[in-house]
């Protein structure tokens, strides 16, 4: 990410607005509502699914009810066992089992299908939106954390829907049905049950946010732990070169312990929440028996009715316990959902304009009109820059570290928008040009051009997906890099490894250059694109690029002033302002900033 | 976060896998005996209390409720008895659940923590060549997801053990009540077990596939976000989204398939105990009608049965976890058993403070899996106190040579010496104490600036500032909000490339090494800063031997000796002047800019003359 933030910029000072929200601030219900809005597929056919769920639930209540009837009025019948009654009841129950199972199957399938479709949409939206966020916004979060927003966080929701969604639906319906039955059997006892469960409801409301926080803490600890462990992997060379294995191990152990402790702590809370539900259920049973005994003693309830009611209480408390457990789990899923929504609802401050202008390809004029830029919450890094670059010009931007030259490149390629003023291409404000048109005409080659874990040729093809193998081979030859490619174990088919790490830094830069050469833009912006390449290769590539840029406009930002010497115009940036402008041979004797810079460059070159 | 994991087929719950799974569980129990024992004790209490509830209700019905109903009166004592008995059973039940669930979690998390410690110790111990052969995403997934998968089984395990206890209690009660009816009823359990096995058979490969696709989705996302800048710069958002969409939709379809399978089996597994209850009722009624059985016995039996129906599924949960656990265990063992550690000798270098000499003799080295060696017989002699520059075109093997000189990798043949001692004979930690590398790719720890310079060693601020000053890093560190205590993020993400390089340089300088190796360590800083750094080093290099990879003339000019390398071979060595005279490749390389400038000047003169 080094190239994202200009030198000497301090990101810790960024205000909230440009950051990706840790998670959306929505409450549980609002989260669910927004979540459903983003995954409309979940709602499709939900009415039928619900109806089927009711059928499945009716079965879950009816079966034990029939069994209980068969027991009370068949086997335990006062006039002796009634075999016929029992058999009919069993046959009915078996039939209901069949219907219930079928209904449950359809509910399962419909729910999973709808949910997975909806969540796939959510995943894609989040992914695309992350790419649409400006580099500055993207850089406010660790990349691993960004990835987890489109993977782990969505998975949490998916797993919840797969394991908990159906049960929650069924439990809720069962609670309602068994309540109705209880009221029919004995309104007084039903009231007793509900009075007993009110405190539980209140308790659950208190437990929920506690659990939410505990799960949140576990998530954060997992992130820390992965970060610490990844140091032992990514930093393997440094750790060995400095012999700091023991210290690294200690740091990892601290993170592992913290994760374990947070996990155990969250589990204790969840157990407490579950157990309190269980305690309430048990106490309710006891109280119902006590009150029922009193009622029975008064003669307002028969023994059979009391036992039947006890059975109903069980039908009621089971789904309540189940629902409590699922609601606790849901905190985890809602936390995940919030994080995904958080990223989707982060505004993209540099966005593709609606009805953007599609520009014609060809010679290009670039204009900076009173452009100023400040990183959010920071001082101005560019101050009121006016600059006009005619077509067919080769420009070199030079300046000391932190002078603002990289900012210039980023504004030009619209990786950021100016705080004040306008950047114009052929007279059109950059903010009004469609991204598709802009990216076709203007290409940036950054210092660290990322390579994908693929072959050389496919990495080059990234610059122009439609290019065939011959076109790519030709580009390599034109840049004078064929000898280098031939030295590779499998030529253009050589695998470059993760992030291109099988290649040296200089070789990675060469791939990035070929990539841009192939893309063939009207304006090429090179930001320290050859800093790790050896001088003779650099000169060779530079010459070939001149071939490319002849007739085009190119803007190169470079530490090596050989680039400036070869440019038509040198733009000297100092402390956020353009202090000198002109050809090398004029500036070198002007006695200004450029003269000083060139002197120190020349001193380095002096053989 | 499991990314880049190799596709490992997950075995179904075959008897062999079951056996291995039980072995994994047993090894876990052995290393966590106490928490497991407490959890199993809790589970037993819970099982007893669950069966006990049925018994308690029957008991109070007999003793209190029925007499109350018949006598139309009840005493307060009677009511208290009802409440007391039920409450007592409840307390046992709740205690059991707490013990079971909390200690099962403790055991599981302890096992995870222990294995993570072991695995990361391996990461720190194994040689770099091993690291190069294993993608970092996979290693991260081994340390996290695989270990989690291995020990997840400890969550349902105690409950399953409790269920077995419950089955034994209830089974005994049933058999004592009526063996015939008990037989009918207990037939359900093998049926349930069988259904579970069939379920796992179907489910395992599908879940494996989904798991694999999850990893692939993560991989695409990770790479794509890492490529964020280039995706933006080239306007490839649509293509990247398409790449992600393909994988996401594959995952979606695979998860829907998993859902369908669950959809079939879940109702079946739920229906089996219910059908069992109905069977018990039917057969029971038939026998009651023939006078072979009391009606109350049938009712009690049916109740016991419905009580068992739900907990019995815990056995299924364990069965479901076992294949996952076995695969996770195997993958973790792959890391724990990895061989090829870097052997160390026991020679210690005398504690002197002067510069150290470094020597490479006939070194040959090839990267793993490549037939052609990268380094083909290189000998370099760096005298104590001297400065040697390694120069060569892009990709000629300079970085590999610096790694060899510091024994970050071992040569295939030939040897590396420090102060005349073969580096392989040195004791662990000896070499880092003497020699230090500033790599081309800088790595920052997620730590403060101070921590990144001292790497945890005790240091006074003055020495840290002094190192930062030589590395030209003092001014921007001063400007950070907390100075030396500012935390610099993941891979030094809050700093620019040039700033990170300067901190890395300060890290090396602070240690006052006797041998300093710089691998193009100033590529991202601008010329004037580089000049200042070189000037600082020139002062500091008293008492230091320096080996430096360089392109720039000013750096090369610091060297007493220049070694020119092409294609992993030393082409020539000598002073800069000598090489300029006699080595064409070298002259071409270092004079490229000057020649270019001269040609341009000539062209310009020509243009002037023409006009």
pLDDT value of residue A19:
67
pLDDT value of residue B489:
65
- pLDDT tens digits, B392-403: 988 888 989 999
Chain A hits for B509, Cβ within 8 Å: none
Q: Are B546 and B387 in contact (CB under 8 A)?
A: yes
Q: Are B119 and B143 in contact (CB under 8 A)?
A: yes
Instruction: Decide if A10 and B480 are in contact by the 8 Å CB cutoff.
Output: yes
Which structure tokens are listed for B183? 């037989």
B432 touching A (Cβ < 8 Å): yes
Q: Which residue of A has its CA nearest to B596?
A: A539
Distance from CA of A180 to the nearest CA of B (A): 22
Which structure tokens are listed for B20? 């291995």
pLDDT at position A419 over 60 = yes
Radius of gyration of chain A (CA): 35
Q: Are B313 and B319 in contact (CB under 8 A)?
A: no
Nearest-by-Cβ selection for B552 from A135, A307, A604: A604
pLDDT value of residue A539:
84
Q: Report angle CA B235, B239, B243 to the nearest 5 degrees.
A: 145
Q: What is the C-alpha separation between B447 and A279, in angstroms, rounded?
A: 47
Higher pLDDT, B488 or B427: B427
pLDDT value of residue B71:
87
**Most confident among A28-37, B333-342, B390-399, B461-470 (mean pLDDT):** B461-470
Mutation target vs A (from B496, B511, B594; most A CBs, 10 A cutoff): B496
Sequence ranges of the domains in chain B: 15-336, 358-447+507-602
Q: Are B314 and B159 in contact (CB under 8 A)?
A: yes
Q: What is the C-alpha separation between A332 and A322, in angstroms, rounded?
A: 16
- pLDDT tens digits, B310-331: 777 777 778 777 877 888 898 8
Q: How confident is the model at residue A562 (pLDDT cuts 50, 70, 90)?
A: confident
The candidate with the shortest Cα–Cα distance to A67, out of B285, B286, B305, B302, is B302
Mutation target vs B (from A265, A325, A607; most B CBs, 10 A cutoff): A607
DSSP A455: B
pLDDT value of residue B415:
94
B500 touching A (Cβ < 8 Å): yes
Q: Could you give the residue ranges of the DSSP H alpha helices within B227-294? A: 228-234, 237-289
pLDDT value of residue A474:
92
pLDDT value of residue B269:
80
Instruction: Decide if A81 and B295 are in contact by the 8 Å CB cutoff.
Output: yes
Instruction: Decide if B267 and A233 are in contact by the 8 Å CB cutoff.
Output: no
Q: What is the torsion angle, in degrees rounded to the nearest 10, for the CA atoms of residue B62, residue B67, residue B69 and residue B72?
A: -170
Instruction: Decide if B260 and A112 are in contact by the 8 Å CB cutoff.
Output: yes
Terminal C-alpha separation, chain B: 66
**Interhelix angle for B33-60 vs B157-177, to 10°?**
40
Instruction: Decide if B393 and A536 are in contact by the 8 Å CB cutoff.
Output: yes
Domains B15-336 and B358-447+507-602 share a fold: no
Residue B5 vs residues B1, B136, B214: alpha-carbon distances, Å: 10, 10, 10
- Mean pLDDT is lowest, of A361-370, B90-99, B552-561, B564-573, for B552-561
pLDDT at position B3 over 70 = no
Mean pLDDT (whole number) for B395-412: 90
pLDDT value of residue A20:
72
Q: What is the C-alpha separation between A319 and A53, in angstroms, rounded?
A: 14
Nearest-by-Cβ selection for A565 from B248, B480, B597: B597
Higher pLDDT, B563 or B161: B563
Instruction: Decide if A560 and B143 are in contact by the 8 Å CB cutoff.
Output: no
Distance from CA of B125 to the nearest CA of A (A): 8
CA within 13 Å, CB half, B481: 11
Q: Are B312 and B270 in contact (CB under 8 A)?
A: no
DSSP A359: P
If you classify domain B358-447+507-602 with CATH, what class do you get?
Answer: alpha beta
Residue B374 vs residues A536, B395, B398: alpha-carbon distances, Å: 21, 9, 10
Instruction: Decide if A275 and B431 are in contact by the 8 Å CB cutoff.
Output: no
- pLDDT tens digits, B329-370: 988 998 899 877 678 888 888 877 788 999 999 999 988 777
Chain B hits for A113, Cβ within 8 Å: 256, 259
Q: How confident is the model at residue B206 (pLDDT cuts 50, 70, 90)?
A: confident
In the three-class reduction of DSSP (H, G, I as helix; E, B as strand; rest coil), residue A369 is classed as strand
Residue B119 vs residues B6, B126, B262, B337: alpha-carbon distances, Å: 18, 11, 34, 10
- How many other CB atoms are there within 10 angstroms of residue B7's CB atom? 11
Q: What is the C-alpha separation between A256 and B120, in angstroms, rounded?
A: 10
Q: How confident is the model at residue A467 (pLDDT cuts 50, 70, 90)?
A: very high
Distance from CA of B559 to the nearest CA of A (A): 13
Domains plus CATH for chain A? 21-344 (1.20.1560.10), 366-452+511-605 (3.40.50.300)
In CATH, what is the architecture of B15-336? Up-down Bundle (1.20)
Residue A582 vs residues A400, A424, B41, B457: alpha-carbon distances, Å: 17, 21, 85, 51
Query: Looking at this predicted complex, what is its ipTM?
Result: 0.86
Q: Which residues pair with B413 in a beta bridge?
A: B364
Instruction: Decide if A600 and B531 are in contact by the 8 Å CB cutoff.
Output: yes
Instruction: Decide if B281 and A90 are in contact by the 8 Å CB cutoff.
Output: yes
């Amino acid at each position: 990410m080094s190239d994202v933030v200009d030198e000497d910029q301090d990101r810790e000072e960024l205000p909230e607005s440009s950051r990706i929200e840790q998670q959306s601030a929505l409450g549980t219900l609002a989260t669910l509502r927004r979540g459903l809005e983003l995954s409309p597929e979940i709602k499709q056919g939900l009415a039928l699914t619900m109806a089927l769920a009711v059928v499945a639930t009716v079965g879950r209540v009816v079966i034990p009810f029939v069994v209980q009837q068969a027991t009370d009025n068949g086997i335990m019948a006062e006039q002796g066992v009634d075999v016929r009654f029992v058999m009919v009841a069993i046959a009915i129950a078996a039939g209901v089992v069949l219907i219930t199972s079928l209904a449950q199957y359809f509910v399962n399938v419909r729910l999973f299908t709808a949910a997975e479709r909806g969540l796939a949409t959510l995943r894609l939206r989040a992914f695309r939106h992350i790419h649409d966020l400006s580099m500055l916004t993207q850089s406010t979060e660790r990349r691993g954390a960004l990835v987890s927003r489109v993977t782990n966080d969505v998975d949490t929701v998916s797993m919840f829907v797969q394991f908990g969604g159906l049960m929650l639906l069924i439990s809720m319906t069962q609670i309602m049905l068994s309540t109705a039955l209880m009221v029919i059997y004995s309104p007084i006892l039903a009231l007793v049950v509900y009075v007993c469960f009110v405190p539980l409801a209140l308790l659950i409301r208190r437990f929920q946010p506690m659990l939410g926080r505990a799960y949140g803490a576990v998530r954060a600890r997992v992130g820390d732990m992965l970060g610490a462990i990844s140091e032992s992997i990514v930093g393997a060379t440094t750790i060995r070169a400095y012999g700091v294995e023991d210290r690294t191990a200690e740091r990892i152990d601290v993170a592992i312990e913290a994760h374990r402790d947070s996990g155990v702590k969250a589990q204790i809370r969840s157990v407490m929440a579950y157990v309190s539900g269980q305690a309430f259920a048990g106490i309710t049973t006891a109280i119902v028996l006590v009150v029922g005994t009193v009622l029975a003693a008064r003669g307002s309830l028969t023994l059979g009715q009391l036992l039947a009611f006890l059975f109903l209480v069980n039908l009621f408390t089971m789904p309540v316990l189940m629902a409590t457990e699922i609601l606790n789990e849901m905190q985890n899923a809602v936390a995940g959902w919030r994080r995904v929504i958080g990223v989707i609802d982060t505004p993209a401050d540099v966005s593709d304009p609606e009805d953007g202008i599609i520009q014609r390809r060809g010679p290009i004029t670039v204009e900076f009109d009173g452009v100023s830029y400040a990183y959010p919450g920071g001082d101005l890094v560019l101050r009121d820059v006016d600059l006009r670059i005619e077509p067919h010009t080769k420009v070199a931007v030079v300046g000391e570290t932190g002078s603002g030259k990289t900012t210039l490149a980023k504004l030009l390629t619209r990786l950021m928008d100016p705080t004040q003023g306008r950047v114009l291409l052929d007279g059109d404000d950059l903010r009004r040009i469609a991204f598709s048109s802009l990216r076709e005409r203007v290409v940036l080659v950054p210092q660290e051009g990322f390579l994908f874990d693929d072959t050389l040729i496919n990495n080059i093809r990234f610059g122009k997906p439609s290019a065939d193998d011959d076109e790519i081979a030709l580009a390599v030859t034109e840049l004078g890099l064929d000898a280098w490619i031939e030295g590779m174990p499998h030529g253009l088919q050589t695998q470059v490894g993760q992030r291109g790490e099988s290649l040296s830094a200089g070789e990675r830069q060469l791939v990035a250059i070929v990539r841009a050469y192939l893309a063939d833009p009207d304006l090429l912006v090179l930001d320290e694109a050859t800093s790790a390449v050896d001088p003779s290769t650099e000169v060779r590539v530079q010459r070939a690029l001149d071939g490319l840029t002849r007739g085009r406009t190119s803007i190169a930002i470079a530490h090596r002033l050989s680039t400036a010497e070869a440019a038509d115009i040198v733009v000297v940036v100092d402390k956020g302002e353009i202090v000198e402008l002109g050809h090398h041979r004029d500036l070198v004797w002007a006695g200004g900033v450029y003269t000083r810079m060139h002197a120190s460059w020349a001193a380095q070159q002096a053989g | 976060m499991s990314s880049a994991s190799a596709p490992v087929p997950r075995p179904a719950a075959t008897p062999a896998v079951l056996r291995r799974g039980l072995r994994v569980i047993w090894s876990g129990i052995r290393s966590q005996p106490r928490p497991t024992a407490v959890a199993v004790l809790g589970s037993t209490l819970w099982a007893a209390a669950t069966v006990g509830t049925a018994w308690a209700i029957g008991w109070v019905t007999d003793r209190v409720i029925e007499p109350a109903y018949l006598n139309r009166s009840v005493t307060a004592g009677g009511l208290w008895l009802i409440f007391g008995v039920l409450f007592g059973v409840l307390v046992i039940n709740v205690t059991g659940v707490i013990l079971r669930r909390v200690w099962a979690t403790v055991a599981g998390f302890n096992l995870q923590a222990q294995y993570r410690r072991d695995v990361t110790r391996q990461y720190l111990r194994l040689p770099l060549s091993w690291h190069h052969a294993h993608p970092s995403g996979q290693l991260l997934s081994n340390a996290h997801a695989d270990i989690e998968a291995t020990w997840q089984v400890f969550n349902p395990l105690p409950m399953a053990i409790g269920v077995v206890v419950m089955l034994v209690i209830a089974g005994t009660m049933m058999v004592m009540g009526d063996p015939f009816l008990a037989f009918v009823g207990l037939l359900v359990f093998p049926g349930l077990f069988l259904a579970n096995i069939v379920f796992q058979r179907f489910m395992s490969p599908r879940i494996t596939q989904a798991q694999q696709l999850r990893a692939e989705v993560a991989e695409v996302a990770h790479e794509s976000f890492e490529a964020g800048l280039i995706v933006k710069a080239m306007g490839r958002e649509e293509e990247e989204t398409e790449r992600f969409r393909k994988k996401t939709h594959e995952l979606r379809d695979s998860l829907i398939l998993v859902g369908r399978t669950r959809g079939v089996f879940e109702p079946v597994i739920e229906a089996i105990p219910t059908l069992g209850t109905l069977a018990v009722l039917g057969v029971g009624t038939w026998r009651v009608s023939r006078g072979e059985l009391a009606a109350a016995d049938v009712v009690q039996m049916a109740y016991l049965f419905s009580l068992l129906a739900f907990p019995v599924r815990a056995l299924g949960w364990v069965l479901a976890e076992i294949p996952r656990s076995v695969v996770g265990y195997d993958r973790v063992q792959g890391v724990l058993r990895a061989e090829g550690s870097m052997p160390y000798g026991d020679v210690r270098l005398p504690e002197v403070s002067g510069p150290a000499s470094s020597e490479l003799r006939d070194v040959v080295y090839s990267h793993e899996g490549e037939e052609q060696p990268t380094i083909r017989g290189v000998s370099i002699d760096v005298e104590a106190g001297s400065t040697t520059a390694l120069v060569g075109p892009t990709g000629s093997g300079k970085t590999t040579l610096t790694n060899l000189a510091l024994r970050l990798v071992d040569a295939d043949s030939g040897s590396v010496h420090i102060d005349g001692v073969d580096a392989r004979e040195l004791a662990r930690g000896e070499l880092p104490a003497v020699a230090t590398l500033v790599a081309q790719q800088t790595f920052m720890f997620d730590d403060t600036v101070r921590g990144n310079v001292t790497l945890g060693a005790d240091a006074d601020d003055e020495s840290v500032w002094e190192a930062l000053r030589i590395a030209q890093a003092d001014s921007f560190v001063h400007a950070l909000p907390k100075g030396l205590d500012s935390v610099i993020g993941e891979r030094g993400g809050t700093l620019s490339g040039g700033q990170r390089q300067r901190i890395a340089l300060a890290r090396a300088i602070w240690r006052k090494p006797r041998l300093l190796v710089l691998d193009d360590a100033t590529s991202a800083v601008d010329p004037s800063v580089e000049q200042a750094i070189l000037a600082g080093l020139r002062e500091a290099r008293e008492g230091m031997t320096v080996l430096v990879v360089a392109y720039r003339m000013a750096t090369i000019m610091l060297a007493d000796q220049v070694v020119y390398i092409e294609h992993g071979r030393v082409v020539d060595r000598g002073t800069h002047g000598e090489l300029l005279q006699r080595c064409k490749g070298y002259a071409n390389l270092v004079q490229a800019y000057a020649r270019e400038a001269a040609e341009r000047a000539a062209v310009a003169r020509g243009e002037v003359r023409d006009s």
